[in-house]
């Protein structure tokens, strides 16, 4: 081991990563007098809820859970699965909500619901967590009541406490749920709620989900020492081309009574993508067709269920869902569309007639951060500065020039106050760990530094930021990469190369953020003599729809070509030894690692494929069909996009890694690939984790995994 190497495998596997134990989940109280957030003062995964005075900048704990909060051991299966959908590893206080009027805070704890009425403790338990957990609790708009789901039914209870009132019945007996987002909505549509309060607090919109058309997929806990009822899980998993859940949208009075069902149209093979109430009391839903080429915005009368479409989006590539539909008090609304090839903001009147386009150009709007109707400003984050950065901008509702508000190079994630006077800015860059500041929305001027506490691990580990590079692929597109070079004692090169890959849509791997520097596996390997390289190939996010849509109906092709171009570029720089090239990735990255080994055997000699999708007919409907169509309509595309179709060309070394209770990318994917490898008489190595899902959670498991991956790469490169 070279003397300059300070990183251990414990550093690679332990979370939070160095510099990343930062405040998160920011909110302003209804009167903007407090800023609330989750944070671990000890720098661990155990978070608590804090409050900050935005005038003085002083901070203190806001709630004190009597038992410290949630742990992995106290979580129900339902909450564990919801955390998988959210990719959350945090414990303690993991979620909270503030009331929309006055001050009241809601905290879900250990399957129950606690409420605190002032800024001072104690918490009051209003729903016990014994038995069935209370899921997705939400305040009414004025904070006087809480709605939640328990045992598949929707309930409401006074925030002061008392007897809960059931608003729905009969779901469990019919194999349905009321008020819960189905798997596909949580995992792929980023819709995590299944009910929505009306602005006046008198009604709730909710979903009824019938998953019985979907066959049960059973996952067995093979690693358990004792066979019990909990040794298996039955999931309704909608495989590509097969049945989806049937979803209805109803409205029920908060006092109880029969629901009114909204008329979602004659086609029942659709996706209920988004639901929200408008200020005029109408209910608006975004309804997406199965092919994901059309999105209808429909306004419903909650009294009758009648619906009228007022905007329809079409796109021959696909529709990327977002959360930027924002109504104004005067009946107009702001909407984001990729109709130009890049996502931009548009202003419409209440009837859905376009008034004007607000932003334009070869760049992407990422989020709509807020709208100041009184002053006529729209605030948004975007890639206008550079595809690898994110900044806050403003544009007038009357149109005109875009005004940049944040200035430090890198990535800015923002939260605006209700008055649109101030914003919280979480900023990082490859050279700078995240900081949290309170700034003036007019010009970005600093008001307070809320968090800028150095993590001693950053200095101790001496993490050099990678170099962000740009190069052309063979198709003429500019690709961005991140280059981690070995210490000087390893010489100028060429060095053995390990490519770190994701490669799939909806993800950007290379951005000017601290997350790039704190990729601890890349840092560990480069400190031991490897060049590590990341490339955002065609198909990646934040580059426009044409760039992302290059893989339509043919996954695992252009992505592999671009990764090969990245290797060739490094070889021409004299940095990479073309005879010693490996690749690793997880999920879509695991798929890419296996596909690169199989489809580019002259380039890649070693691959570590973690939780890989090996055949797209084994993945879910909404994600897969967006990019590939259905297996019935695109059989040739599914065939050529499977790893199994190219196994005969594998010449290098392959390590497969998978968790046996992965309910997202089932172990079946790896098992099917193993069958193909056996049939083709191709050797492989296998690393299994009997008690892990898609995201490895146990520290000991992660350390062991990093040891095995390191040893595999060292032995074969």
- HEC sequence for 523-566: HHHHHCCCEEEEECCCCCCCCCHHHHHHHCCCCCCHHHHHHHHH
Gyration radius of the chain over CA positions: 25
Whether the Cβ atoms of residue 643 and residue 591 lie closer than 8 Å to each other: yes
Structure confidence at residue 4 as a pLDDT band (50, 70, 90): low
Confidence (pLDDT) at 175: 86
Structure confidence at residue 229 as a pLDDT band (50, 70, 90): low
pLDDT above 80 (res 2): no
Strand, helix or coil for residue 703:
helix
Confidence (pLDDT) at 387: 98
- Least confident span in 84-88, 361-365, 682-686: 84-88
Strand, helix or coil for residue 292:
coil
State the SS3 of 311-325: EEEECCCCCCCCCCC
Q: Which of 587, 620, 646, 669 is labelled catalytic? A: 587
Q: How far apart are CA 251 and CA 271, in angstroms?
A: 18
pLDDT single digits (tens) 230-259: 689 999 999 999 999 999 999 999 999 999
pLDDT single digits (tens) 405-420: 999 999 999 999 999 9
Report, as an integer, the average pLDDT of 309-326: 98
Confidence (pLDDT) at 69: 85
Whether the Cβ atoms of residue 463 and residue 518 lie closer than 8 Å to each other: yes
| Antiparallel, parallel or unpaired: β 260-261 and 246-253 | antiparallel
pLDDT above 60 (res 515): yes
Report, as an integer, the average pLDDT of 47-58: 94
Confidence (pLDDT) at 80: 84
527 is catalytic: no
Q: Which of 337, 425, 662, 669 is labelled catalytic? A: 662
pLDDT single digits (tens) 476-501: 999 999 999 999 999 998 999 999 99
In terms of Cα–Cα distance, which of 522, 653, 649, 509 is closest to 580? 653
Residue 267 or residue 73, greater confidence: 267
Strands (DSSP E) contained in 466-545 are: 467-472, 478-484, 495-501, 531-535
Structure confidence at residue 449 as a pLDDT band (50, 70, 90): very high
Structure confidence at residue 636 as a pLDDT band (50, 70, 90): very high
Q: How far apart are CA 156 and CA 680, in angstroms?
A: 59
Q: What is the CA angle 265-267-273, rounded to 5?
A: 75
Structure confidence at residue 595 as a pLDDT band (50, 70, 90): very high
pLDDT above 80 (res 227): no
Distance of CA 360 to the CA centre of its chain: 26
What mean pLDDT value characterizes the chain?
96
53 is catalytic: no
Q: How far apart are CA 494 and CA 279, in angstroms?
A: 63
Q: How far apart are CA 585 and CA 279, in angstroms?
A: 45
Q: How far apart are CA 327 and CA 279, in angstroms?
A: 7
List phi, psi (to 5°) of 478.
Answer: -80, 125
pLDDT single digits (tens) 93-139: 999 999 999 999 999 999 999 999 999 989 999 999 877 999 999 99
Model confidence pTM above 0.85: yes
662 is catalytic: yes
pLDDT above 60 (res 608): yes
């Amino acid at each position: 081991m070279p003397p300059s190497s300070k990183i251990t495998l414990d550093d690679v596997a332990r979370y939070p990563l160095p510099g990343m134990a930062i405040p998160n989940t920011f909110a302003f109280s209804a009167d903007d007098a407090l800023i609330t957030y989750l944070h671990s003062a000890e720098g661990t995964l155990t978070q608590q809820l804090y409050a900050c005075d935005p005038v003085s900048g002083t901070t203190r704990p806001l709630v004190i859970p009597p038992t410290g909060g949630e742990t992995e051991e106290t979580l129900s299966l339902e909450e564990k699965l919801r955390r998988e959908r959210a990719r959350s590893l945090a414990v303690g206080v993991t979620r909270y909500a503030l009331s929309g009027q006055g001050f009241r805070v809601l905290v879900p704890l250990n399957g129950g619901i606690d409420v605190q009425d002032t800024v001072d403790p104690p918490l009051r338990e209003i729903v016990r967590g014994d038995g069935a957990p209370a899921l997705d609790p939400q305040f009414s708009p004025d904070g006087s009541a809480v709605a939640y789901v328990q045992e598949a039914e929707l309930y409401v209870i006074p925030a002061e406490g008392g007897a809960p009132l059931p608003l729905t019945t009969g779901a469990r007996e019919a194999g349905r749920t009321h008020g819960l987002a189905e798997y596909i909505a949580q995992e792929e549509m980023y819709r995590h709620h299944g009910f929505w309060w009306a602005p006046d607090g008198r009604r709730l919109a909710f979903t009824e989900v019938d998953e019985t058309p979907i066959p049960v997929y059973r996952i067995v806990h093979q690693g358990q020492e004792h066979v019990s009822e909990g040794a298996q899980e039955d999931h309704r998993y909608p495989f590509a081309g097969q049945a989806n859940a049937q979803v209805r949208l109803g409205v029920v009075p908060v006092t109880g009574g029969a629901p009114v069902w909204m008329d979602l149209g004659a086609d029942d093979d659709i996706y209920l993508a988004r639901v929200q109430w408008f200020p005029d009391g109408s209910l608006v839903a975004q309804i997406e067709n199965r092919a994901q080429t059309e999105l209808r915005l429909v306004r419903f009368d909650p009294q009758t269920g009648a619906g009228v479409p007022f905007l329809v989006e079409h796109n021959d590539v696909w529709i990327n869902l977002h959360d930027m539909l924002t109504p104004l008090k005067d009946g107009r609304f702001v909407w984001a569309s990729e109709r130009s090839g890049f996502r931009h903001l548009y202003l419409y009147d209440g009837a859905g007639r376009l008034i004007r386009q607000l932003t334009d150009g070869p760049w992407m709007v990422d989020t709509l951060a807020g709208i100041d109707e009184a002053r006529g400003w729209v605030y948004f984050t975007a890639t206008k500065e550079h595809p690898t950065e994110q900044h806050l901008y403003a544009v007038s509702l009357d149109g005109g020039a875009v005004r940049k508000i944040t200035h430090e190079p890198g990535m800015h994630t923002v939260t605006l106050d209700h008055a649109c006077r101030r914003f919280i800015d979480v900023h990082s860059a490859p050279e700078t760990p995240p900081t949290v500041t309170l700034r003036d929305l007019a010009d970005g001027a600093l008001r307070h530094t809320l968090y800028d506490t150095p993590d001693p691990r950053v200095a101790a580990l001496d993490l050099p930021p990678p170099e962000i590079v740009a190069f052309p692929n063979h198709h003429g597109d500019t690709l961005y990469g991140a280059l981690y070079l070995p210490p000087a004692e390893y010489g100028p090169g060429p060095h053995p190369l390990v490519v770190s890959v994701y490669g799939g849509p909806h993800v950007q791997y290379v951005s000017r953020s601290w997350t790039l520097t704190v990729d601890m596996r890349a840092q560990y390997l480069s400190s031991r003599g490897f060049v590590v390289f990341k490339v955002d190939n065609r198909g990646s996010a934040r580059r426009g729809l044409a760039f992302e849509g290059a893989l339509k109906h043919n996954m695992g092709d252009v992505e592999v070509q671009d990764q090969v171009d990245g290797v060739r570029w490094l070889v021409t720089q004299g940095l990479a030894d073309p005879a010693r090239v490996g690749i690793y990735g997880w999920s879509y990255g695991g798929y890419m690692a296996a596909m690169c080994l199989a489809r580019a055997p002259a380039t890649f000699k070693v691959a570590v494929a973690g939780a890989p999708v090996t055949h797209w007919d084994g993945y879910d409907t909404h994600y897969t069909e967006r990019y590939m169509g259905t297996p019935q309509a695109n059989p040739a595309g599914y065939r050529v996009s499977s790893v199994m179709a190219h196994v005969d060309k594998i010449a290098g070394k392959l390590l497969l890694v998978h968790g046996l209770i992965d309910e997202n990318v089932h172990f079946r994917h790896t098992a099917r690939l193993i069958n193909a490898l056996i049939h083709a008489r191709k050797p492989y190595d296998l690393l299994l984790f009997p008690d892990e899902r898609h995201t490895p959670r146990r520290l000991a498991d992660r350390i062991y995994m990093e040891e095995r991956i390191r040893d595999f790469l060292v032995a074969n490169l």
